Structure 1
Amino acid sequence: MNNRFPTRAGRVGGELTTHPPSGVQRRIFELPPEHLSAAENWVTYGVRAPRSAVRASSVCLVREATSGVETYLSYRAGTSPLGSVAFPGGSMEADDASEARWFGPSLRSWAAKLGILDQKLARTYVVCAIRELFEETGILLAGSDEQSVAEINDPVEWMSMREAIAGRDISFSEFLGRRGLGVRSDLLRPVAHWLSPNFALRRFDTWYFSAAVPQGQHASLLDSKGIWGAWLSAAEVIRKRHSHWLGNSVGQDDTTDLRLSQITSPAVETILERMAAANGAIAYLARVRSLNLHQANLLVRDGRYLLEVVINEEDHDSKWQL
């Protein structure tokens, strides 16, 4: 992939190292301030076994706009491995492995695409993505058959169901079952697979998926937990990533006066780059991808703690698709 968004010499956050080997990119990103202590301890006390990574899923919503591809970003309080500003998502729950009705490609196809031998695990990643998306945005990728999508007739009731699922008062599979719904796995496209850095105190093994918003549905924050969320032009976010524009727009203590790399993860930033480069939302969703695992590694340069990601050109090409 060419660096479509070059930076000035010495900058990080999308920076390419000089003279990378043919077919390989070494990307350098800033370290979010809340991760600095963990990075310092990792270096000070020497390399040791990293903490176990929790499995997680995240969904990148996309839609067409005059400015190009727009996507939905939201704020998550605390030190989430997904970033303070990120796509909707979160960690797996036990109920995600339940036998909810399933529409779309077979589990065998999904497992092959994700490179997972365990078909049940592949299913769980998909269900986790659909559940987290519903909890955090109200977008429900489910229907009564392979052609239908759930309709939101009562926004108040919809919100109460989201709150109940988020609070674990009712399971997602029970919610679907009561309404005769099944998950529409065909409405998701896997786009990336990332593992948190080894030094992190909280680590996620995250599959990122993309989806369009079904007709008649609208993204909204969860009443009890939502703080900030917005549809933004991916190209504008990338164009302004070295400014404080997004961090100040979110307006939280851990985002104000910070640049994009300081409030999100390399996974989110690189996905935003590809959205910005796409010729519309449909083209982005239809793109054929290879899904190799990526991981940011700690890099110390001139006393600064940074994140380095190595990406091969071949990571962006594949002849396999759902």
Structure 2
Amino acid sequence: MDAGRLAPPPARDAATVVVLRDHDRHGLQAFLLRRARSMAFAPGAYVFPGGAVDPRDGEASLGWSGPSPAEWAAAFGASETVARELVCAAVRETFEETLVLLAGPAPDSVVDDVRGDAWEADRRALLDRSQSFGGFLDKRGLVLRSDLLRPWAHWITPKIEPKRYDTRFFVAAIPEGQRARDVSTEADQVAWVRPAEAVERGWAGEWMMLPPTLATLTELAEYETVADVLAAERAITVYEPTAEVVDGEAFLVLPEDVAHFYPTG
């Protein structure tokens, strides 16, 4: 407690993935979900697939291909344990919310079709935590493809919020043959959209977005193709908005180098 104020709640480690594709007519597109208005956190907001780390995401026996947890730890400034958990959470949450699965039967292959009742049963078992992600991969004879992900950003929820997340952002191309679907119980609408169009809708007030989402889309609007995004060299900076009280009213203050990404009026 400081000056009579309660200490801020701890921020839970979380991961989110910007799933991307190249469209024949519209060019680079990102997959967004609109959170159901019944949700306690960010109701009605357009977000990327993702969520908090599950305690079992760090299972050491989980099949893994691509950059090691140590390499991901260096990229995100995290411990190897947290890095492993974040990558697993990124792949697991993306599958749970979109049926896009960044895994394959071999280190150089990827599942091309995850439709069907058996896949849906596995997805639900992950959702209700009756099955761990490592157990799911083992049963299917799959390995996680960490090489299909790239690190993109790192945002921490402001200390004034009752629910806080320490979120690492990843980008990934949707695997060939797979299709992102509206399967999340937390969302009521999904869309493939050009990053620039999503930004325009955000600025116009048509789509509600949190600052990290709008900032990420603004950055992605500078790229023409998925390949361009995946080839981008990123130095990951930690962004944590703060709050200031002016005339008795609290205002969110964004880090200076991303503040211009978000509409203020």
TM-score w.r.t. the length of structure 1 is 0.72
Q: What is aligned with 2:71?
A: 109
Name the residue aligned to 1:212: 173
* 1:63–1:71 Cα contact (<8 Å) kept: yes
Structure 2 Cα separation of the partners of residues 265 and 226 of structure 1:
15
Give the SS at the match of 2:239. strand
Q: Matches of residues 59-138 of structure 1 in structure 2 within 5 Å?
A: 59-65=17-23, 66-77=25-36, 78-80=39-41, 84-99=45-60, 100-116=62-78, 118-138=79-99
The separation in 2 between residues aligned to 1:201 and 1:226, in whole angstroms, is: 21
> 2:237 maps to what in 1?
292
**Structure 1 contact 162–222 (Cα < 8 Å) conserved:** no
Deviation at 1:299, TM superposition (A): 3.3
Contact 1:68 / 1:235 at 8 angstroms: preserved in 2? Answer: no
Partner AA of 1:72 in structure 2: F
One-letter amino acid matched to 2:203: H
**Counterpart AA for 2:29:** E
CA-atom RMSD, angstroms?
A: 2.2
Question: What is the correspondence of 1:131-146 to structure 2 with a 5 Å cutoff?
Answer: 131-146=92-107
Q: 1-side partners of 2:43 and 2:166: how far apart?
A: 10
Contact 1:152 1:158 in 2 (8 A): no
Out of 221, 235, 238, the position equivalent to 1:276 is 221
Change (3 A) 1:245 1:312: closer
Tell me, in whole angstroms, the C-alpha distance in 1 between the residues paired with 2:141 and 2:200: 44
Cα deviation, 1:57-102, whole Å, max 9, x if unaligned, reads 0000111233342111112232326983200000011110112011
Contact 2:97 2:182 in 1 (8 A): yes
Secondary structure of the residue that 1:132 maps to in structure 2?
Answer: helix
- Check conservation: 2:99, 2:114, Cα contact below 8 A: no
- The SS at the match of 2:203 is coil
Are the equivalent residues in 2 in contact too, given 1:81–1:202 (CA < 8 A)? Answer: no
5+ residue gaps, structure 1, are 1-44, 247-262, 314-322
* 3-state SS in 1 of match to 2:56: helix
Which residue of 1 is the match for residue 142 of structure 2? 181
* Partner AA of 1:152 in structure 2: D
Find the residue that maps to 2:188 and give its secondary structure. coil
* TM-score, normalised relative to structure 2: 0.87
How many Å apart are 1:242 and its aligned residue? 2.8
Q: Does 1:158 align with 2:119?
A: yes
Identity across matched positions, percent: 35
- Asked if 2 retains the 8 angstrom alpha-carbon contact of 1:114 and 1:291, the reply is yes
**CA deviation digits over 1:266-314, x for unaligned, max 9?**
111100101112232221221111111101111345665432222459x
Call closer, same or farther: CA 1:92–1:187 in 2, change over 3 Å. same
- CA gap of 1:269–1:224, structure 2 versus 1, over 3 A, is closer
Does the 8 Å contact 1:68/1:233 carry over to 2? yes
1:103 maps to a residue whose letter is S
Equivalent residues of 1:83, 1:265 under 8 A apart: no
Q: 1:146 to 1:232 in 2, by over 3 A?
A: same
Q: Does 1:57 align with 2:20?
A: no
Change (3 A) 1:51 1:153: closer
- What is the DSSP-based 3-state SS (H/G/I as helix, E as strand, rest coil) of the residue aligned with 1:245? coil
| Structure 1, 214-223 or 50-59: larger mean CA deviation | 214-223
- Report the more deviating stretch, 234-243 or 178-187: 234-243
| C-alpha contact (below 8 Å) 1:110/1:122 kept by paired residues | yes
Name structure 2 gaps, 5 residues minimum: 259-265
Match of 1:237 in 2: 198
Deviations 1:27-66 (A, max 9, x none): xxxxxxxxxxxxxxxxxx9754211111110000111233
CA separation in 1, counterparts of 2:40 and 2:229? 29
Residue by residue, what CA displacement relative to the aligned partner does 1:169-214 show, whole Å, maximum 9, x if unpaired? 2221111101111110000011001110010000000001000000
Structure 2: distance between partners of 1:90 and 1:132: 6
Q: Residue 234 and residue 191 in structure 1: after superposition, are their counterparts in 2 closer, same or farther (change >3 A)?
A: same
CA distance in 2, matches of 1:238, 1:129: 23
Distance 1:47 1:68 in 2: 49
Q: How many equivalent pairs are there?
A: 252
Q: 1:223 to 1:304 in 2, by over 3 A?
A: closer
- State the one-letter code of the partner of 2:176: Q
Find the residue that maps to 1:96 and give its secondary structure.
Answer: helix
